[in-house]
Amino acid sequence: MVSPCASCGTVFAPRPSRARYCSNACRQRAYRRRSAGTSTVVAELPVHDDAFVGRERELAELLPLLREHRVVTLVGSAGVGKTRLAVELAGRARRTEVRTVELGKLSRPDQVVQAFAEAVGVYQRAGVALRTTLLAELGHRRVLLLVDNCEHLLEECCDVVDALLSRCPNVQVLATSREALQAVGEVVYPVHGMGEDAVRLFAERAGAPVDRDAVAAVCARLDGVPLAVELAAKLSGTVPPHELADRLDQRLDLLSDAGEPSRHRSLRAAVAWSHDLLTTPEQELFRRLALLPGGAGLEIAQVVHGGPVTGLLAALQAKSLVVRDDGRFRMLESVRLYAEERLREHGEYEVTAERIIAWLCEKGEPGVTSSILAPEQVKAHHQEYDNVAYAFARLVAPGDERRLMLATMLLRVCFDRGYFIEAGAVLMQVLHQSAADARYRVIALEYASLLAVQEERFDEAVKYALEAIAAAEESGGHLVMCRLYRTLAAAHDGAGDMPNTVWALRRSIEHGVRNGNEVSVAVSSQNLGWMLLVQGDVDGAGELVDGALPALRRHARPDVVSIAVHTSGCIALERGDVATAGARFAESARMSQSIPRAMLESIEGRGLVAMRSGRHEVGVRLLAACEQMRMAWVVPAEPWWRRKMTAALDDAREVLPRAAFTRALNAGRAMDVRHALETALDEEIVRDAVLSDRQRVVVELVARGLTNAQVAAKLGISHRTVESHVHNVKTALNLSSRAQLVAWARST
C-alpha cells in the first residue's frame, strides 16, 4: 500500500504502515512548521501603527465566507474602513501566502495586470504577454490576493479576477471596492459604519480620556464612519467633543451620498475644517507638500518648506493630515489635492515645483558621474519613484533638459522592477525629442540599449550602446565609460558574439581601472569571469572572480553580490571542490531569496552538489523543481549552465533505478519555490560521500582491474556513463587518480 508524504507529497510505501512522512527530513520539516505556528505564512499586508478597533461581528461573519468562497468583496462608501477590515481579515485567515494588490494609485486600465504581477513577483518577459506569465505563475501557488481599491478600474479588475479563478485553482481573492466586481462566484459583503464601536475608536485615537456622551453624539452625527471619526478624534485635543458636535452642521457633510459630487464636496469640507485649525506655519508646510504624491522624507520636506519641519510634520500627523509610512510622510490623495488648491491660491506653485525638480535632479546626478550607484543611492531612487514620475509628467517643462534627467531616474527604477513597457514609453517621450548634445542623453541611450536587449533586438542594442559611448567620449563623460562598455558587452552577448563580448568587457575594466571605479570594475570582472568559465578557462575565471568578490561584498547590492558568489560556486564545481561549491551556492541562494527568479541557479547549483555527494534523488528533485519554475516564469537557463544540468540528470537516470528517478522527478515538479529553497539549504546535501549501489559496483569492477569499456560492457551501460561514475566517485572521495580509487576500494 502506498500513500503521499504529509510534508512533500511524494508517494511512498510507509514502513511501518502508518508512517506519515517519506523521510526524517520531511518529518523534521513538518515539526518545525508546527512548532513555529505561522512560520510558513508569507504575508505582505499593510502594517498599521495603531490598534485595530471593533468589527468583531463582521470578522465572525467574514471568516466562514472566506473559507467557503474563492472571491469575497467588501463593499461600502469611501472612508468606511473596508481596507482596514480586509487587512485584519486576511491576517486572521492563516493562509500559506497572502499578497496585496494595491490599485488605488493606478490611473489606467492597462496597469491592472501589472499591479497583480508586481504583487506576486512576476515580471514582463520578451515575447510573452504579462497576463499569460501571471496565470502560469499562479497556476501552482496557493495564495490569497487582497485586491484593494477596485472601484475606479472595475471592469479590468473583474476580468483579471475571473481569469485567475478559472485558471488558478488555489488562488483566492479578497477585494475592497465601492461597488461589486460582478465576478463569477463573487460573494458581496456590505460594510457599514461602526455603530457603538465608533466611540471606542474615537477614544483610542484621541489617546486621552474623553466625555463619552459627547463623543457618542459626535460619532452618531458622523454615522460611525471610521475616517471621519478618526479625523475628529485627532482634533479633539484642540476642539473639545461638545464643540465638535456644534460645528458639524457647518463644516462636515462627509460621505453621505456615495458616488455623487456632493461626496467630494463633503470630503473637501472635512479637509478644509482640519486645515483651518492649523497654525500658520503648519498651513504653509501642509500646502507645500502637495506636489509630492509619493510622500516626503525629512530631507525633501525641509527643502520644499525652506526651514525646519520635524515639529510641523509631527503636528500634521497628529491631526491626520499626513500619515507616516516606512519613515515617510504621505497625504491621502484627496487631502493632497486640497493642499494643491491652497498652494496655487497662495501663488507658491512654481517656486515649490522648482525646489522639487532641483532636489530630484541632485539625487539623480550620481547616475551621470559614476559607473555604478551605491545601494543607498539606488534605494533613494526607488523611494522617490512616484515623485519623479509626477515631476516628469506635471512639473518640468517639455523643453527643459532636466526632464531627460528625470526620465533616466524613472528608467533605472523601471528596469529594477521589471516595468519594461513603462520604460519604453518613457524612452519614446524623450530619446528622439532631446538635443544630440544634451548632457543626460548618454544615459537615455544606455537604457535604450538595455531595453533592446530585454526585447531581443540585439542589433539595435549594439547601435544604441555604441552611440552612447560616442556621445560620452564627445562630452567628456569618461567616468561612465566602464558602465557603458558593460552595456555594450550585454548587447554583443545577446547576439551570441562572444569575441566582441569579451573585448567590450576588457575595455570596461580598462576604463574602470583608469578612473578608479572599484565596484564597477568588480562587476565587469565578474561578467568576464563568467565568459571565461563558459569558454573553459577555469583558472582565468577564478582569478577574476576571486579578485572581484571583496569589493562587491563591501559596496555592492546583495543581488549583484549573489551573482558573483554563484559564479564562484560554478568555478569550484568545475575544479571538483564540492564543499566550497556547496557553500557558495547556499550563500548565493540566501542573498537572493527575496527575488525567487534570482534563486533558481543557486538552487540548481545545490542540486548538482547533491549529486556529486551521492544524493542523486535530492539532486533530481531540485533540478526538476527549478525546471518547472523556469517554464512557468519563462526564465530560460544560460546554455552552458543548461548543459551541466542536462548531463547531471542523464547521469542520475543511469545511476538510479527507474522508479526512484521517476519518483524524484515528480516530487521535484510538485515543489514550490520555498520548498525547493528549504530543501536546497539542507546541510546534509554536502556531507561525507555516500556512494550509490551502482557506483559501488563500478568501483568494485575497477578495483578488479577492468577498464571503463569492460565495465560498461559487463553492466550494459554506456562508456560515458562509466566515466562519469568514476569521476564523481573520485570527486566525492577527494581522490585524484584511478590508482588511489583502487587503493580505497581494497581498503574498505
Pairwise CA distance, residues 393 & 486, whole Å: 31
* DSSP per-residue letters across 662-708: HHHHHHHHT--HHHHHHHHT-GGGS-S----HHHHHHHHHHHTT--H
Contact 348, 288 (CB under 8 A): yes
Range of the domain at 312: 280-346
Within a domain: 210? yes
Confidence of residue 248 (pLDDT cuts 50, 70, 90): low
Q: Please give the model's pTM, rounded to 2 decimal places.
A: 0.58
Same domain, 89 and 172: yes
Q: Give the CATH number of the domain where residue 341 resides.
A: 1.10.10
The mean-pLDDT minimum among 84-88, 236-240, 609-613 falls in 236-240
Give the distance, in angstroms, between the CA of residue 49 and the centroid of all CA atoms in the same chain. Answer: 24
pLDDT at residue number 257: 32
Picking from 78, 223, 88, 85, the residue whose alpha carbon sits closest to that of residue 149 is: 78
Q: Residue type at 366?
A: P
Predicted pLDDT of residue 39: 30
pLDDT of 748 reads: 56
Nearest to 2 by CA among 666, 462, 615, 577: 666
Q: For residue 734, name the pLDDT band (cuts at 50, 70, 90).
A: low
Rounded Cα distance, 376 and 675, in Å = 32
Task: Indicate if 92 and 225 belong to the same structural domain.
Answer: no
At residue 358, the pLDDT reads: 92
Domain count across the chain = 5
Greater confidence (17 vs 692) lies with: 692
Give Cα 681 to chain centroid, integer Å.
21
| Confidence bin at 5 (pLDDT 50/70/90) | low
Residue 26 has a pLDDT of 58
Indicate whether 333 and 304 sit together in one domain. yes
Rounded CA separation 250/238 (Å): 18
- Mean per-residue pLDDT for 659-683? 90
pLDDT for residue 437: 67
For the cut 90, the answer to whether the pLDDT of residue 604 exceeds it is yes
Q: Using the predicted structure, report yes or no on whether residue 269 has a pLDDT greater than 70.
A: no
The neighbour count for residue 641, using CB atoms within 10 Å, is: 18
Q: Which residue is it, cell 474602513?
A: 81
pLDDT tens digits, one per residue of 642-653: 999 999 998 888
Whether residues 122 and 49 share a domain: the answer is: yes
Higher per-residue pLDDT: 248 or 99: 99
How many other CB atoms are found less than 10 A from the CB of residue 181? Answer: 24
The whole-angstrom separation of Cα 328 and Cα 574 is 48
Indicate whether 712 belongs to any domain: yes
Q: What's the confidence (pLDDT) of residue 22?
A: 65
Q: Distance between the two ends of the chain, CA-based, in angstroms?
A: 37
Task: State the CB neighbour count (10 A cutoff) for residue 110.
Answer: 11
Which cell is 44 given?
A: 505582505
Q: Give the range among 46-50, 136-140, 153-157, 298-302 with minimum mean pLDDT.
A: 46-50
Residue that finishes a domain, picked among 290, 316, 346: 346
| Residue at a domain's end among 220, 242, 277 | 277
Do residues 213 and 157 both lie within one domain?
A: no
Is residue 316 within 8 A of residue 330, CB to CB? The reply is no
Percent of the chain surpassing pLDDT 70:
85
Average pLDDT score over residue span 65-84: 81
Higher pLDDT, 223 or 412: 412
636: cell is 530560460
Question: Is the pLDDT assigned to residue 253 strictly greater than 50?
Answer: no
Residue 320 is predicted with a pLDDT of 61
Cell of 281: 506655519
The answer to the question of residue 145 being in a domain is yes
Q: Which of 321, 346, 371 is the C-terminal boundary of a domain?
A: 346
C-beta separation of 504 from 520 below 8 A: no
Shared domain for 95 and 210, answered yes or no, is: no
Q: How far apart are alpha carbons 627 and 664 in whole angstroms? A: 13
What's the whole-number average pLDDT of the chain?
81
pLDDT attached to residue 128: 78
Whether residue 146 sits in one domain with residue 69: yes
The SS3 call for residue 476 is coil
Instruction: Flag whether 158 is in a domain.
Output: yes
Residue 673 covered by a domain: no
Sign, CA torsion 726/732/737/742? negative
Max avg pLDDT among 94-98, 191-195, 541-545 = 541-545
Residue 249 has pLDDT above 60, yes or no: no
d(CA 85, CA 13): 46
Q: Is residue 81 part of a domain?
A: yes
Which CATH number belongs to the domain containing residue 713 in this structure?
A: 1.10.10.10
Has residue 262 got a pLDDT over 60?
Answer: no
Burial class (CB in 10 A: 0-12, 13-18, 19+), 329: buried
Q: Per mean pLDDT, which of 115-119, 253-257, 474-478, 674-678 is the most reliable? A: 674-678
Residue 319, pLDDT > 90, answer no
The answer to whether the CB of 667 falls within 8 A of the CB of 618 is no
Alpha-carbon gap, residue 329 to 585, rounded angstroms: 40
Q: Helix/strand/coil (H, E, C) string of 539-605?
A: HHHHHHHHHHHHHHHHHCCHHHHHHHHHHHHHHHHHCCCHHHHHHHHHHHHHHCCCCHHHHHHHHHH
Q: Which of 36-45, 59-68, 315-324, 734-743 has the lowest mean pLDDT?
A: 36-45
Average the pLDDT over each of 114-128, 562-576, 652-666 and give the range with the smallest value: 114-128
The angle formed by the CA atoms of residues 717, 723 and 728, to the nearest 5 degrees, is 115
Q: What is the CATH number of the domain that holds 143?
A: 3.40.50.300
pLDDT at 683: 79
Given this model, what pLDDT does residue 188 score?
Answer: 87
Cα–Cα distance, 81 to 62 (Å, whole number): 15
Tell me which range, 4-18, 267-281, 360-374, 705-719, is most confidently predicted by mean pLDDT. Answer: 705-719
Residue predicted with more confidence, 212 or 352: 352
**Is 218 inside any structural domain?**
yes
Confidence band, pLDDT 50/70/90 cuts, at residue 251: very low
- Beta strands in 257-363, from DSSP E residues, in sequence order: 323-325, 328-330
CB 623 within 8 A of CB 612: no
Q: How far apart are CA 491 and CA 499, in angstroms?
A: 12
Position 73, amino acid: T
Task: Give residue 283's identity as a one-letter amino acid code.
Answer: Q
Q: Are residues 261 and 169 in the same domain?
A: no
Distance CA 104, CA 512 (A): 44
55 and 158: one domain?
yes
The region of weakest confidence among 112-126, 619-633, 680-694, 711-725 is 680-694
The Cα–Cα gap between 723 and 737 comes to 13
- Per-residue confidence band for 415, with pLDDT thresholds at 50, 70 and 90: confident
CA distance 415 to 490: 15
**Residues 466-497: pLDDT tens digits?**
998 998 888 877 888 898 999 999 999 999 89
Per-residue model confidence (pLDDT) at position 667? 92
Q: Are 621 and 7 in contact (CB under 8 A)?
A: no
C-alpha cell read off for 46: 499593510
Strands 42-44 and 97-102: parallel
CA distance 453 to 489: 11
- Say whether pLDDT at 315 is over 90: no
Of 10-19, 187-196, 212-221, 585-594, where does mean pLDDT reach its minimum? 10-19
Same domain, 54 and 186: yes
Statement to judge: residues 244 and 119 lie in one domain: no
CA 412 and chain centroid, separation: 15
For cell 568501483, the residue is: 699
User: Is pLDDT of 15 > 60?
Assistant: no
56 with 106, same domain: the answer is yes
Checking if the pLDDT of 228 tops 90, the result is no
Q: Range with the lowest mean pLDDT among 32-41, 368-377, 735-744?
A: 32-41
Structure confidence at residue 730 as a pLDDT band (50, 70, 90): confident
Higher pLDDT, 9 or 234: 234
Query: What pLDDT, on a 0 to 100 scale, did the predictor assign at position 33?
Result: 45
- The verdict on residue 641 lying in a domain is no
